[in-house]
């Protein structure tokens, strides 16, 4: 399982890959600090991208083919035509933005169709990050986890009852009972030594394996939730800042991996590029949001 270059476009902060289209044969991801959304076809190699004018923490696909974009003043709805409209404003819902410079970071659609979306402060100060849940049916926005530091990777168990979440500063993956009533913590299930890198984005495969990107660690790691979260794979990459991953392709066995330069110049030349590899297990398709 050796990662190869999937897309040579260099991202300052590549993040949030999602699969979409017929047979999940296309992938989109964001360059957060580059303020753009990129796409590429797995079979065709066809590429596209568009600017978002503001830093963009996530780009979630919509059922109509557009996006929900986690821009600094959003999130906003982007139609396939390119027209945008506000879903709600970060500044209106998060009082921490009065004193701190805060942006959206990671987001995913839950098994019951809600949008789970988190923030982080540009200065990464303790307690300035929040995890929210937005219901497109009721239009309700609710705080799930307050006083975080870097709200990051997230995904669910196959039955949807367990939510796995990363606040990167904790160096751990935490598990929660997940329901419409909110989250009940079960504590950390995976701990990562700080010298190995910081846990960033993540995804879960069809067998319950948790794939975690290590910022500063040049790796993707897989932990088996069915076997006491045993470490089963270490995938090395030729770049330091590995940010996230998602499964794509007709068999959902192509793991797409985003990376970053973090604005630094003295890095390996492949830094910021997007990688892909054939995993030994299939994953799950990315969910779309019905808005």
Per-residue pLDDT reduced to its tens digit, 102-158:
999 999 999 999 999 999 999 999 999 999 999 999 999 999 999 999 999 999 999
In a domain, 291, yes or no: no
Calpha distance 243→168 (Å, rounded): 11
Domain that holds residue 267: 4-278
Q: What is the Cα–Cα distance from 157 to 161, expressed in whole angstroms?
A: 6
Tell the residue number behind the tokens 């069809």, with chain if given.
206
**Rounded CA separation 163/140 (Å):** 20
In this predicted structure, what is the pLDDT of residue 204? Answer: 98
Task: Output phi, psi for 196, to 5 deg.
Answer: -90, -5
In a domain, 289, yes or no: no
Give the pLDDT band (50/70/90) at residue 1: confident
Host H or E run for residue 27: strand 26-31
* Residue 152 in tokens: 């990051």
The per-residue pLDDT for 282 is: 97
188 within domain boundaries: yes
pLDDT more than 70, % of the chain: 100
The answer to whether the CB of 289 falls within 8 A of the CB of 111 is no
Residue at 149 is within a domain: yes
| Domain annotation covers residue 215 | yes
CATH number at residue 61: 2.120.10.30
CB 115 within 8 A of CB 107: yes
Q: How many domains does the chain have?
A: 1
CA distance 147 to 125: 10
């Amino acid at each position: 399982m050796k990662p190869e270059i999937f897309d040579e476009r260099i991202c300052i902060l590549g993040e949030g890959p999602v699969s979409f289209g017929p047979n999940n044969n296309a992938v989109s991801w964001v360059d957060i600090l580059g303020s753009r959304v990129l796409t590429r076809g797995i079979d065709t190699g066809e590429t596209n991208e568009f600017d978002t004018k503001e830093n963009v923490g996530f780009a979630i696909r919509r059922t109509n083919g557009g996006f929900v974009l986690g821009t600094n003043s959003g999130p906003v709805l982007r139609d396939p035509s390119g027209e945008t409209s506000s879903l709600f404003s970060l500044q209106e819902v998060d009082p921490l933005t009065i004193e701190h410079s805060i942006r959206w970071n990671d987001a995913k659609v839950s098994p019951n169709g809600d949008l789970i979306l988190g923030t982080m402060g540009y200065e990464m100060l303790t307690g300035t990050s929040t995890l929210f849940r937005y219901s497109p049916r009721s239009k309700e926005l609710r705080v799930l986890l307050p006083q975080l530091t870097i709200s990051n990777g997230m995904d669910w168990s196959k039955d949807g009852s367990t939510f796995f979440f990363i606040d990167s500063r904790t160096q751990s993956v935490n598990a929660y009972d997940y329901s419409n009533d909110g989250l009940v913590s079960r504590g950390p299930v995976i701990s990562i030594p700080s010298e190995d890198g910081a846990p960033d984005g993540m995804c879960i495969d069809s067998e319950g394996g948790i794939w975690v990107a290590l910022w500063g660690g040049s790796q993707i790691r897989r932990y088996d939730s069915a076997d006491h979260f045993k470490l089963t794979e270490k995938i090395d990459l030729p770049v330091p800042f590995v940010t996230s991953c998602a499964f794509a392709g007709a068999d959902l066995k192509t793991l797409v991996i985003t990376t970053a330069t973090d604005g630094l110049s003295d890095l390996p030349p492949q830094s910021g590029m997007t990688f892909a590899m054939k995993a030994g297990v299939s994953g799950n398709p990315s969910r779309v949001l019905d808005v």
